[in-house]
Structure 1
Amino acid sequence: MMTNLFSTFDPSTSLNLSLNWMSTFLGLIMMPAIFWFIPSRYTVLWNKITLTLHTEFKILLGTPKMNGSTLIFISLFSMILFNNFLGLFPYIFTSTSHLSLTLTLALPLWVSFMIFGWVKNTIHMLAHLVPQGTPPVLMPFMVCIETISNIIRPGTLAVRLAANMIAGHLLMTLLGNTGSSLSLLMVNLLIIVQLALLVLESAVSIIQSYVFAVLTTLYSSEVN
């Protein structure tokens, strides 16, 4: 029920939501793209990161035929990094700490590399099973070892990322739950420790996404 004439302009009177404030930003859609031509500092920083990753992945791949494939690994790095950092915020689900996501990323990539390698470069893949300089007596054992190490690669990729992400979060949760039973001095010390762990988790988020992308790039370079 309208209490006065001006209540019709109150955004909370429409379905008890304030979403009609979004109409203020609809004008941004009408702006031509030339207004967004000048890059922001965030765009410049992200472009530098992308170019650096492109250079490193290009060196790891080693073949000039696969220039565009670095974009796949840069996109993979960006997705994992975004999800890792989202998990650092309170009450936000950390999807990269579960094998259902990490194995979904690692397994299709590994299967596609194996299919491509065994179909296109069969001799090259067979040569990888026996390292150069292996004595003839040890060749059957080396084939078994290399085959097993090759099969467990997607599992190690997935477990490495999930375990590293869940370990820090679990430690922070366990320390945080003890705060109510500590004295004031210990609570202050606990806050300092939690801040240090948060900085460490931020570094782990970057490192693990980089390690996942680099290892995937190395695995792809072995099938060429």
Structure 2
Amino acid sequence: MMANLFSSFDPLSTMGNLSLNWASTILAIFFLPYIFWAMPSRASILWSSLMLTLHKELKILLGASNPGGTLVFTSLFSLIMFNNLLGLVPYIFTSTSHLVFTLSLALPLWMTSMIFGWLNHTKHMFAHLVPMGTPGPLTPLMVLIETVSNIIRPGTLAVRLAANMIAGHLLLTLLGNTGPSFSKTLLPILLFSQFLLLILESAVAVIQSYVFAALSTLYTSEVN
């Protein structure tokens, strides 16, 4: 029995000094090798078409100046989506519901793009701090606002992903804990509502992966 509602997010399973919960992050790797030696299946064809479509979308956002940059963001999308979907499987730890994981993805991408931009495109980065058409007296205020909004970008990316994963899992946990107190007549309604919520969470898992990758691409494209 859970000590509290949030105990399902506690990374407690360990063997020695190795945290087995965080090891679930690399489970996605075991789904990939069969693509290279097995005959193409419907799942592999669907996955290839999804990656190709995502590559075309991110290529438009990133621009023609960095044609190979989409590889980073499609890989990021794959990693986040696999972890989001695996977190819906019972007894598998959801690493994307923790800020330590989401922030470790968002912060290095943002920091490297900022360092690259300020070192190589300094005037372009200064121009981003003042939007076009800003009145002269408002320029210092706009520089302050743009600077703050730029600094909090990795935090907003990390919090958005973690909050969406936590919210869905909490709803599933709440409905699951009320099952023993339900009568037999109301139990089918509970199971049907959990099934619908599980479908919704699967869609949210994919959508949040795309949002994270797309926003990271947009933030990176601003430094070119």
Same fold (TM over 0.5): yes
Distance 1:123 1:208 in 2: 33
Letter in 1 for 2:169: H
> Any idea what the Cα deviations from partners look like across 1:38-92, whole Å, max 9, x if unmatched?
4222221111111101100110012x23111100000000000000000000011
Match for residue 169 of structure 1? 169
* Aligned match of 2:102: 102
Match of 2:7 in 1: none
What residue is the counterpart of 1:114 in the other structure?
114
User: SS of the counterpart of 2:134?
Assistant: coil
Kindly report which structure 2 residues correspond to 1:2-81, keeping only aligned pairs within 5 A, or say none. 36=37, 38-62=39-63, 64-81=64-81
Structure 2 distance, partners of 1:70, 1:131, is: 27
Q: TM-score, normalised by structure 2?
A: 0.82
> Displacement of 1:189 after TM fit?
1.0
Displaced runs of 4+ in structure 1, greater than 6 A? none
More helix by share: 1
What is the SS of the residue equivalent to 1:106? helix
Segments of structure 1 that go 5 or more residues without pairing to the other structure are: 1-34
Counterpart of 1:47 in structure 2: which amino acid? S
Higher mean alpha-carbon deviation, 146-155 vs 183-192, is at 183-192
CA distance in 1, matches of 2:147, 2:110: 14
Q: Determine what percentage of the aligned residue pairs are the same residue.
A: 68
Q: CA deviation at 1:184?
A: 1.3
Task: Count matched residues.
Answer: 190
The secondary structure found in structure 1 opposite 2:185 is: helix
CA distance in 1, matches of 2:194, 2:39: 39
Larger radius of gyration: 1
Matched, 1:87 2:87: yes
- The one-letter code matched in structure 1 to 2:219 is Y
Deviation sequence 1:139-169 (CA, Å, 0-9, x none): 1110000000000000000000000001000
- 2:128 paired residue number: 128
Q: Specify the code of the residue in structure 1 equivalent to 2:54.
A: L
- In the alignment, which residue of structure 1 is the partner of 2:151? 151
CA distance in 2, matches of 1:193, 1:177: 14
How far 1:37 sits from its partner (Å)? 7.1
Residue 175 of structure 2 is aligned to residue 204 of structure 1 = no
The equivalent residue for 2:193 is 193
- Return 179-188 or 136-145, whichever deviates more: 179-188
